[in-house]
Amino acid sequence: MLVRTDDEIYRVDSVWLGPPRATFPWRARYVSYGLGLLVMILIMFVQRRVGIGLDFLSVAWALVLTVAITRFIGQRIDYERPLGQVLGLFRHEVTGPRRRTTGTGGVVRTSHVRIGPAVRPRRGRGAKPRQQSRRRVQPGRQEGRSRVTR
């Protein structure tokens, strides 16, 4: 027994056919009109923020860019990948975790670096071990802030 899928139902584009002899000279899906409106508003907003005035050429270029961007996005959306999914995918790509390219850490200070010979000199055999000198606190210093002298 052969099971028929319902893919043919979804492959039909929902386009406005219009009344007889009064259709548009192009074929566009309903989602393209809404997307084109949003793209046109965004382009016009960017033009005003950049400082481009509202004249015939700016509106014409905005319309040309709107058609180009809408067609570009429209080629990537269909019934299997709707516009919301494409926008969500774009958002996840932009905000996803990235590998760090800069080093992490704080300021390097030389106050923690001990200055002295890199290797202690070896003592010969039979040499007496050195005695540790006693440390004493200078008189007149407060507890915890005293300076240690040898």
Per-residue pLDDT of the chain in tens (150 residues, 90 and over written 9): 666 666 666 666 666 667 777 777 777 788 888 999 999 999 999 999 999 999 999 999 999 999 999 999 888 888 788 888 988 998 999 999 988 887 777 777 777 767 777 776 677 666 666 666 555 555 655 555 555 555
SS3 119: coil
User: How many other CB atoms are there within 10 angstroms of residue 39's CB atom?
Assistant: 20
- Is residue 69 within 8 Å of 32, Cβ to Cβ? no
Q: Can you give the pLDDT at residue 101?
A: 81
147 DSSP 8-state letter = P
Model's pTM, two decimal places? Answer: 0.52
SS3 120: coil
- Is residue 148 within 8 Å of 137, Cβ to Cβ? yes
Residue with tokens 């319902």: 6
| Domain range summary for the chain, segments of one domain joined by + | 30-94
Can you tell me the distance from the alpha carbon of 21 to that of 10, in angstroms, rounded to the nearest whole number?
27
Q: Can you give the pLDDT at residue 57?
A: 94
Q: Can you give the pLDDT at residue 148?
A: 56
Please classify residue 63 by burial: count the beta carbons closer than 10 Å to its beta carbon, then call 0-12 exposed, 13-18 middle and 19+ buried: middle
Strands 148-149 and 136-137: antiparallel
Q: Can you give the pLDDT at residue 134?
A: 58
Please classify residue 32 by burial: count the beta carbons closer than 10 Å to its beta carbon, then call 0-12 exposed, 13-18 middle and 19+ buried: buried
